[in-house]
């Protein structure tokens, strides 16, 4: 009897540091494409235009690669080993999502996926392709089909053994390998993730409106935020973990063994005053090899200023005043909002009279006059 190639693949995946390796059909029908089309059709993808332009290719793995037969789904645990949400009690410090406190997971996983893919191709004699959240492939439905977990009411992948903290990578293969049993849904009547959302971004269980999501706003959205969401961000300056961290299934989660995804000390509760002083060079240095680097200094400092506005810390007024003269309009506008929250009303009115006359950007002028969208 020939050896099962899946045993070899699992052994090699474990040797490369992956915490889980399971198999799913890449060619069988599924309903994930219809759900995605509804999400985009409702406009819930916001400014993420790439989701619309790649919708047809995202609809099913074979829409992107007709030869795909098997998905090898890999997971790498990035659990923090504790509940991170109490960190937000310090309003003068910024909160960075757990996933972004270490090295960029794309770079951590990609090389290992390529190594494993080469070994799979050599073993099976069939073509392979590698994916780690950088191509139009829906990894979470594949992970559920492979039995790694299920998409919870917060739409994120949820595991009975690792909670919410799992990075995913996928290798598609033209080889026909026996699939593992899929995972069912185990949320029951729990609505903790929906109830905790600061912006009510879930119109219904298992549905997300990205336009209201703080992860989307802090990372994907490029302009000044709608005013209604600014206070809700609190001290969150990159991503949001609330719906992940409150899940009861995290009682089974363990701290990650992978040093490259563990938190850097400088990215746990960094002081807002320090972050407000970052120029482009300092930003790139602080976030070298970090996913935070992708959004650039201006968007990041915009987020920092919204957090400063929520801090209630008058000692941060001077940092916001300096940034009211920043070359980037999105930074100046956020500084104005922060100052409006921290300064005495009379003092702010005097500053507005002084600065408004020289401001040429319409969006920043709207911040001074209170006419924001």
- Provide the annotated active-site residues: 133
Q: How many angstroms separate the CA atoms of 229 and 226, rounded? A: 6
CA angle centred on 28, ends 6 and 183, rounded to 5° = 65
The backbone torsions φ and ψ at residue 151, rounded to the nearest 5 degrees and listed phi first, read -85, 110
**What string of H, E and C letters represents the secondary structure of 47-103?**
CCHHHHHCHHHHCCHHHHCCCCCEEEEEEEECCCCCCCHHHHHCCCECEECHHHCCC
The closest alpha carbon to 250, from 161, 184, 183, belongs to 161
Strands 70-77 and 236-238: unpaired
Give bridge partners of residue 159 from the DSSP assignment: 163
Cβ pair 339, 320 in contact under 8 A: yes
Secondary structure element (H or E) that encloses residue 171, with its range: strand 166-173
**How many residues in total does the chain contain?**
373
Residue 70 β-bridge partners: 25, 173
Find the helix or strand (DSSP H, E) in which 129 lies.
strand 128-131
Angstrom distance (rounded) from CA 76 to CA 347:
51
**β partners of residue 23:** 72
């Amino acid at each position: 009897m020939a050896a099962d190639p899946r045993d070899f693949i699992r052994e090699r995946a474990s040797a490369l540091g992956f915490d889980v390796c399971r198999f799913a059909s890449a060619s069988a029908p599924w309903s994930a494409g219809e759900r995605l089309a509804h999400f985009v059709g409702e406009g819930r993808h916001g400014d993420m235009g790439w989701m619309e332009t790649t919708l047809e290719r995202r609809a099913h793995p074979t829409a992107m690669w007709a030869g795909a037969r098997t998905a090898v789904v890999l997971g790498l645990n990035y659990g923090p080993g504790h509940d991170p949400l109490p960190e937000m009690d310090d309003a003068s410090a910024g909160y960075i999502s757990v996933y972004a406190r270490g090295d960029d997971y794309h770079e951590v996983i990609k090389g290992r996926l390529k190594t494993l893919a080469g070994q799979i191709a050599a073993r099976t004699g069939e073509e392979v392709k590698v994916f780690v959240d950088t191509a139009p492939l829906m990894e979470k439905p594949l992970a559920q089909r492979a039995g790694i977990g299920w998409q919870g009411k917060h739409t994120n992948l949820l595991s009975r053994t690792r909670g919410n903290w799992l990075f995913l990578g996928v290798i598609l293969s033209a080889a026909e390998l026996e699939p593992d049993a899929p995972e069912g849904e185990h949320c029951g009547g729990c609505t903790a993730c929906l109830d905790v959302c600061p912006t009510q971004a879930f119109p219904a269980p298992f549905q997300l409106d990205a336009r209201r999501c703080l992860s989307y706003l802090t990372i994907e959205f490029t302009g000044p935020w709608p005013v209604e969401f600014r206070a809700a961000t609190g001290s969150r300056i990159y991503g949001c973990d609330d719906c992940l961290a409150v899940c009861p299934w995290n009682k089974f989660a363990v701290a990650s063994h992978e040093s490259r995804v563990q938190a850097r000390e400088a990215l746990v509760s960094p002081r807002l005053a320090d972050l407000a002083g970052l120029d482009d060079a300092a930003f790139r240095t602080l976030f070298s090899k970090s996913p935070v680097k992708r959004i650039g200094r201006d968007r990041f400092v915009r987020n920092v200023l919204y957090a400063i506005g929520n801090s209630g810390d008058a000692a941060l007024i001077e940092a916001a005043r300096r940034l009211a003269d920043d070359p980037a309009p999105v930074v100046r506008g956020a500084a104005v909002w922060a100052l409006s929250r921290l300064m005495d009303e009379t003092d702010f009115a005097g500053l507005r009279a002084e600065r408004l006359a020289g401001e040429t950007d319409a969006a920043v002028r709207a911040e001074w006059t209170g006419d924001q969208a």
